[in-house]
Amino acid sequence: MRSAGVLMMLMVGSAGSVSAQGSGPVVHHKLMPVPASVKIETGRLALDKSFRVAIAQHRDARLERAIQRMLARLEALTGIAVPRGSAKDAAAATLVVEVRGAGETVQSVAEDESYSLEISARQAVLKANTVVGAIRGLETLLQLVESDANGYFFVFAGIEDKPRFPWRGLLIDVCRHWQPVEVIKRNLDAMAAVKLNVFHWHLSEDQGFRIESKRYPRLHELSSDGLYYTQDEVREIVAYARDRGIRVVPEFDMPGHATSWMTAYPEYASAPGPYEIIRDFGVFPATFDPSREKVFKFIDRFIGEMKKLFPDGYWHIGGDEVMGKHWNENPKIAAFKQKHGFKDNEQLQAYFNQRLNKILRKHGKKMVGWDEIFHTDLPKDVVVQSWRGQESLGKGAKQGYYGILSAGYYLDAMQTAAYHYGVDPLPAASGLSVEEAARILGGEICMWGELITPENIDSRIWPRTAAIAERLWSPRELNYVADMYRRLEASSLFLEQAGAMHVVGADAMLRRLAETDRIEPLRELLRLVEPLSLGQRQGARRANQLTPLTELADIARPDAPARREVMQMVESAVGDARRGAAIDERLAQEFRHWRELRAQLEMLAQRAPRVREADAALGALVELAAAGEEALGFLSRTEAAPKEWTDTKLAMLEQAAKPKGLLRLAVVPAMRRLIEAAGGVSK
C-alpha cells in the first residue's frame, strides 16, 4: 500500500537504539515474549497422566475452550493422554486456573490482559482478572514445558505479567492475493501464541473487494474474482479471534485505493468509468467523489451493514496515498473546492474524513487511518497508524492524538528479526511527556499481499513477528539481540506446534520445484540466501496479481540462518588471537560446503530446470569461498593481506551484495568482516 521505494528510505531511519548485540541481560529461559517479571528456579513439577486442571472462581465457555486447546497442544507435545475434564478438588489439581471475571463483553483496547503464574512442587496456579489474561497465561505455561531423560515437566517459576502496550497487531492484506479462511485461522492461532491481540483485516483494495455485502452485492460479485468471505465466514473468524483474545479491526480503504469500489459502483467515483480490477501493484487514481452527498449516503449504508459483523470499537478507513488525479481533472470537484475555500486536495481529503468520522461515530465506531488522515480538525479520539516513523507518531501524540506504529514492522521489506526488534514505538529518547506517551497505543506488523500466497504467507510472517510481538509486550530494556535469537529459535518450534506452517509450507514448495523429496541441497541453499524486498523485487522483475509466486525467491525465508552462523564463526576466527586450528577448520569446511553445494544443485538442475534460478547466487558463493580461504591463510600466518588483494576482494563483495536474480546472499556481511580483518582494516 505505501509505495515501496519511499517506504524503504523511511524504514532505514526508523530503527531504535538496539545494537547488533544489544546490552540487556541474558535470560535463563526460552519464553517469548518475556514476561514483565519472571523468576525461574531450580525444580520440576512432573507432567504425566495424572495431570488435572481445576477452574476456580469464574467459569465460562470461552475459558473452558481455551483450557481445552491448551490441553490438546500439551498432549500433542508430550504424547501423554491428558484428561480433559476439570478436577473438582483444586487442592488435588496439577493446574489451578483462577479467574475473577469474564472481562469485557466486546474486548477493547482497555481489556485487562495481566496474569500471574506460580509453579512449585505442589502445583501450578494461574491467576487473572479476566479470561483474556488467563489465555495469555496459558500460552506462557505451555512455553515452560521442558523434558529430559526422565520425562516432561514444568520448570518452577514465579511470573507477574502484563503487556507494555495495549495495541499489538498484525495486518494481513487479503486483497492483492487472496487468503482463505483456514490461512487466517492458523495465523490467529500463532498470534495468540505470542500474545498479539489485534487482527487488522485489510479487506478492500484496487485489486479486490473481499467481503460479501447483501446491501451492495456488486461489490463481491464484480470486484473479487469470486474470492471473498461470506458474512457467515466473517462471523466465524471474528468469533475464532475473540476466543483467543484477539480483536478484529476491518479496513475498508477510502477515498483512495478504491478501484474495487468503483468497479462495482462507478457512480460514486470522481471520474467516469468503466473501471475494472487492477492486476498490477502500486498507487492508482480511482477515488470517491467528496463533492456528492450520495457518496456519503452510500458509505453510511455500507458501514451500517458491516458494523453488525465487526463488533470492535475501531474501524480503519485506510486514507493513504490519495493520488488526487481524478479530483484535479473533475470541474465539479474543482468548483466544490473553491466554494468551500479548500486550497488543496489535502484539505478536501480532510473534509471527506470529517464527514466519514461523523458516519462512524453515528455507528459507534472510532476512526483509525494511516498517516495521511492526520489533520487538526479531526477529533482527538482518532487513531493515526504511522508508516512514516516515530517522529510522525510523536508529533501526533504531542497534539493530543492517539497513534500506533507500523514503520519498521513491514514484513515485505525482508528485514532481519534483529532490525524489527530494534524498532520501538516509544524509544527512551522520544521526548514525550508521560501524558503524551500514553497516547502511543502500540504497534502493528504489516503483511502486505503483493508477494504472498496461502503457501508462503506463514514463512513471511513467522518467526520474525514473534520478535516484534516481544518488543510490543515486554519491557523496553529487554534488548539483547543474541539472546532474542536463541529464544526465537525455540519460539519457531512453539509456533509450529500452534499451527503455523512457516517450515512445512516451504518444504512442500521445494519438493514441487525440485520434483523430488530429496531437497536437502535446496534447504542448504536457503540457509545462505534471502528473498529481495518488495521494492527490490519489483525493480528486478515486476510481479503482478497473476504472476506465479513459486520461485526460489518465493520460498526463501527472510533472515537466513547463515547470516548469524557464519558471522559467529568469523568473529571467533578474527577476534581471538589464541584461536585453535579447529576454529579455522570450521570456516574452511563451510567454504568447501559452498562449492559442493553448487555441484549438487547443478546436478539437480539437469532434471529440475527451475533450480537454475540459483545459478547466479551459487556462482557468487564459490567466489566468496575462494576469498574466504585466502583470508584464512593470511590470518593463520598472522600477516596482513596486501592492500591490492584487500581492495580487489572488497570490490568483489560489493558485487556479491547486489541481487542475484531474485535472491540476495545473506553471508556478505560476515565475509566483509573476514576480508577486512585479513587486510588489517579496522572493524
Decide if 212 is catalytic. no
Pick the range with the lowest mean pLDDT from 391-400, 411-420, 668-677.
391-400
pLDDT above 90 (res 7)? no
pLDDT above 80 (res 574)? yes
- pLDDT of 218-246, one tens digit each? 999 999 999 999 999 999 999 999 999 99
d(CA 597, CA 594): 5
Per-residue confidence (pLDDT) for residue 86, from 0 to 100: 81
Q: Tell me what the mean pLDDT of segment 369-388 comes to.
A: 92
Per-residue confidence (pLDDT) for residue 578, from 0 to 100: 56
d(CA 662, CA 179): 24
**Domain range annotation of the chain:** 37-161, 167-482, 503-678
| Interhelix angle 581-605/615-636, nearest 10 degrees | 160
- pLDDT of 407-422, one tens digit each? 999 999 999 999 999 9
- pLDDT of 533-557, one tens digit each? 999 999 999 999 999 999 999 999 9
- pLDDT of 456-486, one tens digit each? 999 999 999 999 999 999 999 999 999 999 9
**Residue 566, φ and ψ in degrees, nearest 5:** -70, -35
CATH number of 167-482: 3.20.20.80
- What is the band of 683 on the pLDDT scale with cuts at 50, 70, 90? low
pLDDT above 60 (res 25)? no
| Longest alpha-carbon distance in the chain | 81
Pick the catalytic residue from 111, 205, 321, 530. Answer: 321
pLDDT above 70 (res 621)? yes
Q: Tell me what the mean pLDDT of segment 331-346 comes to.
A: 97
pLDDT above 80 (res 318)? yes
| Average pLDDT in the chain | 93
pLDDT above 50 (res 8)? no
Q: Over the range 266-303, which residues count as b (16 or more CB within 10 Å of their CB) and which as e?
A: eebbbbeeebebbeebeebbbbbbbbbeebbebbbebb
For residue 272, cis peptide bond before it (omega within 30 degrees of 0): no
Per-residue confidence (pLDDT) for residue 576, from 0 to 100: 67
8 A C-beta contact, residue 288 and residue 352: yes
Q: Tell me what the mean pLDDT of segment 203-227 comes to.
A: 98
- What is the band of 577 on the pLDDT scale with cuts at 50, 70, 90? low
Per-residue confidence (pLDDT) for residue 299, from 0 to 100: 98
- Please report, for residues 210, 260, 298, 378, the alpha-carbon distance to residue 356 in angstroms, rounded to integers and kept in the order given: 21, 19, 11, 11
Per-residue confidence (pLDDT) for residue 19, from 0 to 100: 37
Q: Tell me what the mean pLDDT of segment 506-514 comes to.
A: 96
> Which of the pair, 381 or 116, is modelled with greater confidence?
116
Q: Tell me what the mean pLDDT of segment 269-274 comes to.
A: 95
pLDDT above 90 (res 298)? yes
Per-residue confidence (pLDDT) for residue 3, from 0 to 100: 44
Per-residue confidence (pLDDT) for residue 485, from 0 to 100: 97
Q: Residue 86's beta-bridge partner residues? A: 53
Q: Tell me what the mean pLDDT of segment 483-493 comes to.
A: 97
| Interhelix angle 581-605/520-528, nearest 10 degrees | 120
- CA R_g for the chain: 27
In the chain, % of residues over pLDDT 70: 95
What single letter denotes the amino acid at residue 323? M
Q: pTM of the prediction?
A: 0.95
Tell how far CA 671 is from the center of its chain.
Answer: 29
Per-residue confidence (pLDDT) for residue 376, from 0 to 100: 83
- pLDDT of 359-371, one tens digit each? 999 999 999 999 9
pLDDT above 70 (res 22)? no
- What is the band of 286 on the pLDDT scale with cuts at 50, 70, 90? very high
Per-residue confidence (pLDDT) for residue 12, from 0 to 100: 29
Q: Which CATH architecture describes the domain 37-161?
A: 2-Layer Sandwich (3.30)
